[in-house]
Amino acid sequence: MSEASAEHSGYLVIEKVTKDFGGQGGAPLFRAVDDVSLRIRQGEIFALLGSSGCGKTTLLRMLAGFEVPTSGRISLGGQDLLSLAPYERPINMMFQSYALFPHLSVWDNIAFGLRREGMPRAQIQERVEAMLKLVQLGKYAQRKPHQLSGGQQQRVALARSLAKQPKLLLLDEPLGALDKKLREETQIELVNIIESVGVTCVMVTHDQEEAMTMATRIGIMSEGAILQVGTPREIYETPATRFVADFIGNVNLMDGTLAVDEPDHVEIACADCRHHVGHGITGHAGMKVSVALRPEKIRISRRAPGPDDNPVAPMNQVQGRVRDIVYFGSHTVYNLVLPSGQVLKVSQSNTERHPDDQLSWDDLAWAWWSPSAHVVLTQ
Amino acid sequence: MKWSERTLIGIPYLWLLVFFLLPFLIVVKISVSEMEMVSFQDIVTWVDGVLNIRIKLSNYLFITQDDLYFKTYVASLKYAAITAALCLFIGYPFAYFMARARASVQPALLMMVMLPFWTSFLLRVYAWKGLLGEGGWVASAFDALGVDTLLMAVGLIPGPGQYLNTPFSLVLGMVYTYVPFMILPLYATLSKMDLRLLEAAYNLGATPWVAFWTVTVPLSRAGIVAGTMLVFIPCVGEFVIPELLGGPQTLMIGRVLWDEFFANNDWPMASAVAVVMVLLIIVPLAWFNKAQADAQEARR
């Protein structure tokens, strides 16, 4: 396969990969990864996102060669990976626990992989110095890992995994061991370093914020299967299933039936209101559907919305009683109890420090949204 | 420090002071005293306003002059070193596979290592006399396998079928007795090792063999040092095994010590031999302590 066609059809190609654990000696069979196919482009940062036990780490370990798929194929740049032992693969991994060698200095940790290649001494020296500079740890070259802070250890782990200039970089929960503040700073720094090197990267995380900020594309995993693949924006704004909509960010899900089905708009009847959706969907009248509404796309006020606010009234609006007000500083989340008993989450940016007409507990309030705010989910 | 902590630390220190340091100082004193029939002359005497300090160093001088002592010290160190090396060679793979075995079988394997301690050490060593003697099971098996020609070629046994009272039987007995002392500390360090470090090594291009030498062995250094010392130190002064299984070729310092005390009744000489032996053991022990401290530092 030529380089060009390999790039066209994906650089890292995962084809129908399944991994079963157990099943021998009467142990129950557990399918960790279920028929996963993915095509990852050269130079992209791809995040596998899912809760713990969804199979994302098993998939990553199969790429590294620590696990062997029960069935399926994996190739990198046209080269079959499964026939290669872990130490033969042009892949380096940054481990969740960093797995730095405690008996070696920072310098020797970074040089470890280069020495295994039998690289000449002068060249190793040059490469290690370059890596130390890249992660800004030049001063710490002679320290042992236990003498470094968590953030510094993370950078040593990154330098060590980049030193061999791998064709594929694997990151296992890259920022999981850092505290929140440091994590936010490191996310961007990590992406900058990875992009400056230009390496293709697959990362595994359970933290959606981490996936959103770092990845060019995200694959959502659940129970061993990939549910949806897309850019962070696609995943957030057009989730394909109820599960994905619910998993990523906050969402209000309302069940209803398709009442009016026109090519340019549809109307969906739910318990508390009727939704006017400004685009057509593939379906038929009377079909059961769900409507997903992100809290930040809903407006809330004590007053009923006027015709300028909501041109499709009385659709796309609802009245409810304020049950909870959660103040986050940058925004406030209101939990509105609707007549059916369902709770509608509404998020408002706090654009003013002391707004005049503040809602308080047990107030009756109106909530409304635009015809382009929803996502209609049929599965 | 609170008084309770002082007491807790103080009791073992007191024990060592009373039952180790004090007797040792007495031994040192005897080694530089003159023997007077059945008692020792005082080192310091005060007669008619004259202070006399008599420190008799001739015993130590004699140790350096008579090459019997030098030879037996060297032999003791040599056999202890060979035993420690063989124990490491046998014990490391054993401890390694024990540490990597399924968690459910590890207690059973550990039990098997410790099982020999349930019978008397003397009995077990004595049993080797029967096993290695003429017509003994092990001796017959060795004869059948032609092990004796091999051992004869290396010069470990004097003639075909003569296993007992040779360097071979001595080292066999010591390795047999001391190998658990090597396995246990090695197992302790190897079972604590983070196996993700091995995955990291493979991931960076190390074959399993290279990863073993560059990661597993350096990380088990504390266990190697502890096991080696636990075998080497008691082997230097070993008396029972050379007595039962050793021969005329394998005179070790424990035997010399015994003879000086009980055959020659020369306590000052025997004490001097003992003091030199303690010094010979303290040097590797100090190195061991330092290595332990360094390893502790590296682990944190």
A-B contacts (CB, under 8 Å): 65
Domain coordinates in residue numbering, chain B: 1-56, 57-299
Asked whether A95 and A87 are in contact (CB, 8 A), the reply is no
DSSP B192-254: HS-THHHHHHHHTT--HHHHIIIIIHHHTHHHHHHHHHHHHHHHHT--HHHHHH--TT---HH
Nearest Cα of chain B lies from the Cα of A81 at a distance, in angstroms, of: 13
* Residue in B205, B219, B298 closest to A87 by CB: B205
Indicate the residue type of B13: Y
- CB neighbourhood size of A114 (10 A): 24
Mean pLDDT, chain A, rounded, equals 89
The pLDDT value recorded for residue B296 is 67
State the best of B104, B202, B203 to mutate against chain A, taking most chain A CBs within 10 Å: B203
So what's the architecture of B57-299 in CATH?
Answer: Orthogonal Bundle (1.10)
The pLDDT value recorded for residue B299 is 56
Nearest Cα of chain A lies from the Cα of B218 at a distance, in angstroms, of: 7
Nearest Cα of chain A lies from the Cα of B293 at a distance, in angstroms, of: 14
Residue contact B203–A64, C-beta within 8 A = yes
Domain coordinates in residue numbering, chain A: 3-243, 250-377
* Residue in A65, A91, A95 closest to B196 by CB: A95
At B204, list the tokens: 């960076």
Of A89-98, A323-332, B153-162, the one with minimum mean pLDDT is: B153-162
Closest CA to B95 of B82, B79, B116, B112: B112
Chain B residue with Cα closest to A110: B204
Spelled out in words, what is the top-level CATH class assigned to the domain A250-377? mainly beta
Topology (CATH) of A3-243: Rossmann fold (3.40.50)
On whether any CB of chain B is under 8 Å from the CB of A25, the answer is: no
Residue contact A112–B201, C-beta within 8 A = yes
* Residue in A66, A95, A113 closest to B205 by CB: A113
Question: What values do phi and psi take at B57, rounded to 5?
Answer: -100, 5
Asked whether A165 and A119 are in contact (CB, 8 A), the reply is no
Give the mean model confidence (pLDDT) for residues A204-211.
90
Closest CA to B211 of B196, B225, B222, B221: B196
pLDDT band for position A358 (50/70/90)?
confident
Give the mean model confidence (pLDDT) for residues A228-256.
91
pLDDT digits (tens, 9 = 90+) for A22-76: 866 666 788 999 999 999 999 999 999 999 889 999 999 999 999 999 999 999 9
The pLDDT value recorded for residue B89 is 96
Chain B residue with Cα closest to A170: B203
pTM of the model: 0.81
Decide if pLDDT at A343 tops 60.
yes
- Dist CA A364 CA A322 (whole Å): 6
Q: Quick one: DSSP state of residue A29?
A: P
pLDDT digits (tens, 9 = 90+) for A105-139: 999 999 999 999 999 999 999 999 999 998 889 99
Give the residue ranges of chain B where pLDDT is below 70: 1, 295-300
